[in-house]
Amino acid sequence: MPTIQPWLYPPGSSIDRVTYTPTLSVHILEYQEEMIDAEGNVYWKTVDSTTFGGTTSVKEFLEQMKDFYESKSCRKDKMI
């Protein structure tokens, strides 16, 4: 059985991201920041989340991921 991967925005590596796991019964976007523990291990910490309706189209959903990221991003001062 294949493993279902979460959807991530922005694609590729970043110091922060928005993630969505399609298998959850509730549609939740999580804004996460990359953290490093005392042993140097990298992990992702959810610092905010939001929900959205089940009738959202894929196009609208992807726009919501981008908008949520841009409103929360710790890099938003570098975005133009």
Question: Among candidates 7, 27, 5, which has minimal Cα distance to 18?
Answer: 7
pLDDT for residue 80 = 40
Question: Among candidates 3, 34, 43, 41, which has minimal Cα distance to 16?
Answer: 34
Could you report the per-residue pLDDT of 32-79, keeping only the tens digit for each?
999 999 999 999 999 999 987 777 788 888 999 999 999 998 765 544
pLDDT for residue 79 = 46
Residue 15: both structure tokens together? 């110091």
Question: Among candidates 53, 59, 69, 50, which has minimal Cα distance to 11?
Answer: 69
